[in-house]
Amino acid sequence: MRLLLAKTVLCAVAVGALLGTCFDRSATAASAPKGKQLLDDLIAQAKQEGSLNANIRPGLGPVIPDMANAFKKRFGLDIQVNLDALTTENELFAKLRATLKAGAPPQLDMIGGPETRHVEMIEEGTVNRIDNWELLLAEVHPLIRSGKVKAEQASPKPLSGYSFLWSTVGKALLYNPKSLSKADLPRTRADLADSKYKGKLATSNFIEAWQMGIVFYPKDHWLEIADKVGKNAVAVLTFAASTERILLGELALADSNEYYYWQVKEKDPSAPIGLHWFSDYTQVSSVYNMVPKGSRHPAAATLFALWMTTPEAEEIWQRAVPYPNIVFGQTKVSQDIKKAIQDSKSPVVTWYDNAKTLETYKWYGTKEGQEYYNKLVKALTQRR
**Which of 40, 94, 218, 221 touches other proteins (CB under 8 A)?**
94
Q: Which stretch binds other proteins (CB under 8 A): 26-34, 189-197, 241-249, 300-308?
A: 241-249
DSSP-based three-state secondary structure for 53: strand
CB of 268 to other proteins, least distance (A): 5
The 10 Å Cβ neighbour count of residue 70 is: 16
The dihedral region occupied by 253, where left means phi > 0, alpha psi between -120 and 50, and beta the remainder, is: beta
**238 lies in the binding site for other proteins (CB under 8 A):** yes
For residues 242-261, which are near other proteins according to CB under 8 A? 243-244, 247-250, 260
Which helix (H) or strand (E) segment holds residue 68: the answer is helix 64-75
For residues 7-26, which are near other proteins according to CB under 8 A? none
**Which of 43, 271, 348, 358 touches other proteins (CB under 8 A)?**
271
Q: Which stretch binds other proteins (CB under 8 A): 142-150, 236-244, 327-335, 337-345?
A: 236-244
For residues 324-353, which are near other proteins according to CB under 8 A? none
Contact (Cβ atoms closer than 8 angstroms) between residue 350 and residue 357 = yes
Q: Which stretch binds other proteins (CB under 8 A): 31-39, 70-78, 93-101, 157-165?
A: 93-101
* Shorter beta-carbon distance to other proteins: residue 311 or 369: 369
**368 lies in the binding site for other proteins (CB under 8 A):** no
Contact (Cβ atoms closer than 8 angstroms) between residue 306 and residue 371 = no
Q: What are phi and psi of 291, to 5 degrees?
A: -110, 110
Beta bridge partner(s), residue 276: 173
* Shorter beta-carbon distance to other proteins: residue 305 or 380: 380
**Which of 211, 325, 330, 334 touches other proteins (CB under 8 A)?**
211
**Which of 42, 77, 192, 233 touches other proteins (CB under 8 A)?**
233
Q: How far apart are CA 130 and CA 162, in angstroms?
A: 6
Which residues neighbour 176 within 8 Å (Cβ) at sequence distance 6 or greater?
Answer: 246, 247, 249, 251, 252, 253, 272, 273, 274
**Which of 28, 33, 78, 103 touches other proteins (CB under 8 A)?**
103
Q: How far apart are CA 247 and CA 74, in angstroms?
A: 40
Q: How far apart are CA 281 and CA 312, in angstroms?
A: 31
Q: Could you tell me which of 119, 128, 85 has the C-alpha nearest to residue 303?
A: 128
For residues 49-88, which are near other proteins according to CB under 8 A? 53-55, 58-59, 61-62, 64-65, 82-88
Q: How far apart are CA 21 and CA 152, in angstroms?
A: 24
**267 lies in the binding site for other proteins (CB under 8 A):** yes
* Shorter beta-carbon distance to other proteins: residue 55 or 334: 55
CB of 61 to other proteins, least distance (A): 4
Contact (Cβ atoms closer than 8 angstroms) between residue 141 and residue 308 = no
For residues 121-180, which are near other proteins according to CB under 8 A? none
- N-term to C-term CA, the chain: 88
Q: How far apart are CA 377 and CA 361, in angstroms?
A: 16
**111 lies in the binding site for other proteins (CB under 8 A):** no
Q: Which stretch binds other proteins (CB under 8 A): 1-9, 42-50, 89-97, 310-318?
A: 89-97
Q: How far apart are CA 188 and CA 200, in angstroms?
A: 16
**Which of 128, 285, 289, 309 touches other proteins (CB under 8 A)?**
285
**181 lies in the binding site for other proteins (CB under 8 A):** no
**202 lies in the binding site for other proteins (CB under 8 A):** yes
**Which of 95, 129, 145, 375 touches other proteins (CB under 8 A)?**
95
Which helix (H) or strand (E) segment holds residue 72: the answer is helix 64-75
268-293 burial, b for 16+ CB within 10 Å, e for fewer?
Answer: eeebebbbbbbebbbbbbbbbbbbbb
**107 lies in the binding site for other proteins (CB under 8 A):** yes
**Which of 6, 9, 17, 104 touches other proteins (CB under 8 A)?**
104
* Shorter beta-carbon distance to other proteins: residue 16 or 105: 105
